[in-house]
Amino acid sequence: MARPSLGFAIASLLLTSPSLTVTPRRPSRTAVLTAIARALHREEPPPWVLDDPLAMGLAGDDGPVVARRFRTELSTESLLSFTRWVCVRARLPEDIVEKAVEQGVEQYVILGAGLDSFAYRRSDLVSHLRVYEVDHPASQAWKRQRLAEMVCDHPPTSPTPRSTSSTRRSGEGLRPPASTSPPRPSSRGSA
């Protein structure tokens, strides 16, 4: 019997995993599945596209159960494709941020941060950055609780990642680069 397509299998996991229902004070299903995919990627032999040793712990109790389902319900090819795609998707912005830091960028905003662990994995970059994580407050509270249970403190070299809810003004707390001066009035119409 042929295995289902990757998209169908992942949709099935999203819809049929009772433990992955969205409830108050929990991260979204997507955040959990993404963390699980990052964790499963580490089961491949190195080198990894992304090394996230915190991912399975951040997924919580659902992590091992859903990971087992991935291993049994997806073909090896589909599992590798999915986990690698998730890791490339996370790695690309990290590579861009790394280049931006070399050019003097000092702030990094992660929209829809979910269970992202950048601020806890990339001490080489966060020592030069102020990291803002923007997501639903429940997702951020879950992540902070999981990190505390995993005895993972805020990175000592970075300002505490900021959790921003959608009810706050966009850009609140962000500061313009030091070299930015206020816009000059237009000279049009002046004599």
pLDDT for residue 188 is more than 70: no
Give, for 149, the enclosing helix (H) or strand (E). Answer: helix 137-149
Question: How open is the CA angle 88-92-94, to the nearest 5 degrees?
Answer: 120
The residues pairing with 164 across neighbouring beta strands, listed in sequence order, are 134
Question: How open is the CA angle 121-127-133, to the nearest 5 degrees?
Answer: 60
Q: Which tens digits make up the pLDDT trace of 45-73?
A: 999 999 999 999 999 999 999 999 999 99
Separation between Cα atoms, residue 169 and residue 26, nearest integer Å: 23
- pTM listed for this prediction: 0.74
Span 176-182, mean pLDDT? 54
SS3 content of the chain, % helix, strand, coil (to 5): 50, 5, 45
- Residue 122, Cα to own-chain centre: how many angstroms? 12
Q: What is the pLDDT of residue 25?
A: 75
Q: Return the percentage of the chain with pLDDT > 70, whole number.
A: 67
Q: Which is more confident, 33 or 183? A: 33
Q: What is the pLDDT of residue 89?
A: 97
Q: Which tens digits make up the pLDDT trace of 87-140?
A: 999 999 999 999 999 999 999 999 999 999 999 999 999 999 999 999 988 888
Q: Which is more confident, 19 or 80? A: 80
Separation between Cα atoms, residue 47 and residue 44, nearest integer Å: 8
Give, for 187, the enclosing helix (H) or strand (E). Answer: none
Give the CATH superfamily of 6-164.
Vaccinia Virus protein VP39 (3.40.50.150)
Q: What is the pLDDT of residue 45?
A: 95
